[in-house]
């Protein structure tokens, strides 16, 4: 962070920045404390039971695996086609991907009944288990994003004299070489991302035991969910970073990113969800309008949250070019799209665990709640409400993700490294950058 | 090869819950769980029928019906729980019984998601027993692992029938080797109309339910496993009197 080289890390961490960091650190520490408490008491302090056996941690695991897609895709796909489009957010995107996959991986740990035995994934794995596949791919993906992030920033780190360059020198030949290497990283990133999201989908889609989970469409759906929520998160992060730090997001890229997000949302909510629902609705109903109603009208509140909040609202904001030009509209559409995908993940777990195949009275023993003779330990439907402990642990891990992104913004040259070797399309000046929809940009 | 399985004659079952109680006691099951449940197929509560009383005495309009369905681990041949276990804690033994190694289980509960029969139970809390030191002939399972019916492997290894089979006063449960064509289970599966629960899911359970016509049930008065020599006591080696 020397002053003689052009600054690619963000400048001027003010009081607000420090306060933000402190809040995140406190949330993380509180979450860690809650996890220690859960370790001592066992999973009895969660809201889970034998019927509803996976809950908030797994819902968020699925969500964060999806979120990790966006940054890697937005930085690797253009590179793969030898384009420098979106170079300005490439490093930031990969940083967000890395943070999300770290959060996703860690969210599994509190879900495990005996985490001290996790080493058995290495000592006695069963390669039939989709969980083993997912364990492998999450680790590979996490290591890959970390390596890719370093590749994208190491010459700039060297130019800054940062120790994080690990001896790499900032030379023109070296930068050219890194550009070639990053093509191969980009080529590897795409199948890796497809594998990560498909395998995470197959954890559910291979199970005959949980109602509608068993569906070949789940893996493609997971890929689209990842593209929608992941791109949404990159947009949100870039706009916030532009608003509150010296990070600069070229203004003209916002509607472009919005357009891509709109296409993803349309493919996901309009096409794939439709394709998933039509066969059932057609087979179950007889009249034309019955089929149409069965197709369009969902049964659960989550369905509406996910299709309206995650589909209709973002599409409405992104479809019209004059609205799409406004930063607030793209920002809001991204937030809605992310929220929709979160509801969809919640819905997935509820779909699996609410109804039992064999629900004759008195049902299944819940595995908790025995106090004395006559205690009701039975359930014929799954029900779940998260406990404070679950919420604190989850918030703590999400805060850790935000910490990684914030510290990355501070210490890594996430601002486009093209400043040293300016290409044709130079990074625009601050007056051309996103200015939160017209208001003045006050970077602190 | 041996492939242990069970035939449960639903025409003989009287819903007395003796198998369930015997299982809890023999296997030292925490009071939070029941491995072996006897469900009522009928009304909304246990021991209640579905349907309506006849409107006018014997006018033939009554539709009351109630049946019992004993449920525990079905010991599937194509067991989804075995296939999903990431660390090989749940496995199929040489004799076909699906068992859990409680020292290996990491408590991820993927098997609970995989099992369509909801036969598995997770120790969210520390096990609760009355008396506190526990009952039966099996050590208690620690907090944080998944457990389930084992077909009483500890008894089978001592050439004894599982506890639920011995306890059934209606002789509705028959245990034996499905690979041996001369075993009672094989003969009953062959002769009577039997059903595997949720057959369409293709887990291929080794538990068969007789419906429609009553079988002679399990007629032997002794406790030993079919085809083994007569035992003096029903308590396995090392068990507490």
pLDDT in the model for residue A148: 94
CA distance B62 to A443: 78
A381/B contact by beta carbon, under 8 A: no
* Contact yes or no for B45 and A48 at CB 8 A: no
| The pLDDT value given to residue B236 | 57
* Residue A349 to residue B35: CA distance in whole angstroms: 24
Domain ranges of chain A: 15-369+376-415
Q: Does A210 touch chain B (CB under 8 A)?
A: yes
For B157-216, the pLDDT digits (tens) are 999 999 999 999 999 999 999 999 999 999 999 999 999 999 999 999 999 999 999 999
List CB contacts (< 8 A) between B115 and chain A.
209
A365 close contact with B: CB closer than 8 A: yes
CB pairs under 8 A between A and B: 172
* pLDDT at residue B175, as a whole number: 97
CB within 8 Å of chain B, chain A residues 1-60: 42-44, 46, 48-51, 53-54
DSSP state of B156: H
Instruction: Measure CB to CB from residue A370 to each of B117, B128, B203 and give the nearest one.
Output: B128
B18-63, pLDDT tens digit by residue? 999 999 999 999 999 999 999 999 999 999 999 988 888 777 888 9
Nearest residue of A to residue B78 by CA position? A208
Instruction: Enumerate the domain spans of chain B.
Output: 4-49+66-210
Strand partners, B121: B147
Positive or negative, the CA dihedral A307, A313, A318, A320 is positive
A358 contacts B39? CB cut-off 8 A: yes
Judging contacts by C-beta atoms under 8 Å, the chain A residues touching residue B121 are: 50, 365, 367
Residue B182 near chain A (CB below 8 Å): no
Fold classified for B4-49+66-210? Alpha-Beta Plaits (3.30.70)
The C-alpha atoms of residue A391 and residue B195 are separated, in whole angstroms, by: 44
pLDDT by residue for chain A (444 residues), tens digit each?
Answer: 334 444 555 656 778 888 999 999 999 999 999 999 999 999 999 999 999 999 999 999 999 999 998 889 888 898 888 888 888 889 999 999 999 999 999 999 999 999 999 999 999 999 999 999 999 999 999 999 999 999 998 988 888 878 888 888 888 888 888 988 989 999 999 999 999 999 999 999 999 999 889 999 999 999 999 999 999 999 999 999 999 888 889 988 999 999 999 999 999 988 998 888 899 899 999 999 999 988 888 777 878 888 899 999 999 999 999 999 999 999 999 999 999 999 999 999 999 999 999 999 999 999 998 988 888 999 999 999 999 999 999 999 999 999 999 999 888 888 764 443 333 333 333 333 343 333 333 333
Question: ipTM for the complex?
Answer: 0.91
Question: Among A64-78, A191-205, B76-90, B103-117, which stretch is predicted with the lowest mean pLDDT?
Answer: A64-78
- Which candidate, A92, A21, A15, places its Cα nearest to that of A444? A15
Q: What is the pLDDT at residue A300?
A: 76
CB contact under 8 A, B113 and A209: yes
pLDDT at A126: 97
Q: Identify the pLDDT of residue B55.
A: 84
Alpha-carbon distances, residue B168 vs B24, B175, B221 (angstroms): 14, 12, 11
* CA gap B223, B43 in Å, rounded: 35
- The Cα of A49 is separated from the nearest Cα of chain B by a number of Å equal to 7
Across chain B, mean pLDDT equals 93
The predicted-structure confidence for B224-239, as pLDDT tens digits, reads as follows 999 888 876 555 555 5
Is A360 in contact with B39 (Cβ distance < 8 A)?
A: yes
Which residues in chain A are contacts of B86 at CB distance < 8 A?
A: 120-121, 125-126, 129, 131-132, 135
Instruction: Using the predicted structure, report yes or no on whether residue B150 has a pLDDT greater than 70.
Output: yes
Whether the Cβ atoms of residue A232 and residue A224 lie closer than 8 Å to each other: no
Residues in A touching B34 (Cβ below 8 Å):
365, 377
């Amino acid at each position: 962070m020397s002053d003689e080289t052009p600054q690619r890390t963000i400048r001027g961490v003010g009081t607000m920045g420090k306060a933000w960091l402190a809040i995140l650190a406190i949330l993380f520490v509180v979450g860690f404390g809650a996890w220690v408490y859960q370790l001592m008491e066992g999973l009895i302090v969660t809201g889970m039971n034998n019927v509803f056996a996976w809950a908030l941690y797994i819902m968020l695991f699925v969500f964060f695996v999806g979120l990790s897609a966006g940054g890697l895709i937005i930085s690797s796909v253009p590179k793969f086609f030898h384009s420098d489009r979106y170079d300005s957010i490439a490093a930031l995107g990969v940083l967000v991907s890395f943070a999300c996959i770290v959060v996703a991986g860690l969210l599994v740990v509190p879900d495990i009944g005996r985490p001290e035995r996790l080493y058995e994934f290495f000592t006695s794995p069963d390669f039939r288990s989709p969980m083993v596949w997912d364990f492998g791919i999450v680790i590979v993906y996490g290591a890959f994003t970390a390596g890719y992030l370093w590749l994208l920033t190491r010459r700039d780190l060297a130019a800054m004299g940062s120790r994080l360059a690990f001896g790499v020198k900032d030379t023109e030949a070296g930068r050219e070489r890194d550009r070639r290497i990053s093509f191969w990283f980009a080529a590897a990133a795409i199948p890796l991302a497809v594998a990560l999201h498909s395998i995470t989908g197959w954890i559910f889609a291979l199970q005959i035991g949980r109602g509608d989970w068993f569906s070949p469409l789940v893996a493609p759906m997971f890929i689209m969910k990842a593209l929608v929520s992941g791109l949404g998160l990159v947009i949100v992060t870039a706009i916030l970073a532009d608003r509150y730090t010296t990070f600069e997001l070229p203004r003209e890229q916002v509607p472009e990113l919005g357009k891509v997000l709109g296409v993803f949302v349309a493919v996901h909510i309009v096409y794939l969800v439709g394709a998933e629902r039509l066969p059932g609705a057609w087979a179950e109903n007889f009249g034309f309008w019955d089929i149409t109603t069965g197709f369009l009208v969902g049964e659960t509140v989550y369905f509406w949250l996910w299709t309206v909040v995650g589909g209709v609202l973002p599409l409405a904001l992104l479809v019209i070019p004059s609205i799409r030009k406004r930063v607030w509209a793209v920002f809001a559409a991204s937030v809605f799209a992310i929220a929709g995908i979160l509801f969809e993940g919640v819905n997935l777990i509820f779909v699996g665990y609410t109804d039992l195949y064999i629900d004759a009275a008195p049902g299944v023993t819940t595995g908790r709640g025995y106090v004395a003779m006559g205690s009701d330990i039975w359930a014929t439907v799954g029900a779940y409400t998260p406990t404070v402990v679950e919420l604190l642990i989850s918030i703590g891990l999400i805060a850790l993700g935000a910490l990684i992104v914030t510290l990355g913004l501070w210490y890594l040259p996430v601002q486009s490294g093209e400043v040293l070797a300016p290409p044709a399309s130079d990074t625009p000046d601050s007056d051309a950058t996103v200015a939160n929809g017209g208001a003045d940009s006050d970077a602190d | 090869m041996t492939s242990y399985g069970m035939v449960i004659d639903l025409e003989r079952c009287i819903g007395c819950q003796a198998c369930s109680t015997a299982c809890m006691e023999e296997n030292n099951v925490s009071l939070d769980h029941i491995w072996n449940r006897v469900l009522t197929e009928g009304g909304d509560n246990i021991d209640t029928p579905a349907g309506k009383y006849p409107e006018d005495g014997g006018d033939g309009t009554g539709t009351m019906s109630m049946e019992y369905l004993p449920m525990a681990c079905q010991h599937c041949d194509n067991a989804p729980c075995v296939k999903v276990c990431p660390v090989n804690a749940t496995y199929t033994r040489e004799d076909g019984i699906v068992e859990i190694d409680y020292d290996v289980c990491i408590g991820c509960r993927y098997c609970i998601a995989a099992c369509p029969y909801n036969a598995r139970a997770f120790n969210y809390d520390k096990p609760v027993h009355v008396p506190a030191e526990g009952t039966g002939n099996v050590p208690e399972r620690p907090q944080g692992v998944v457990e389930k019916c084992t077909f009483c492997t500890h008894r089978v290894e001592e050439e004894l029938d599982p506890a639920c089979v011995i306890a059934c006063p209606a002789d509705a449960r028959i245990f034996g080797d499905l690979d041996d064509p001369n075993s009672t289970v094989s003969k009953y599966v062959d002769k009577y109309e039997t059903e595997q629960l949720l057959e369409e899911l293709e887990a291929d359970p080794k538990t068969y339910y007789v419906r429609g016509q009553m079988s002679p049930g399990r007629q032997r008065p002794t406790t030993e496993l079919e085809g083994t020599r007569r035992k003096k006591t029903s308590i396995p080696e090392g068990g507490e009197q």
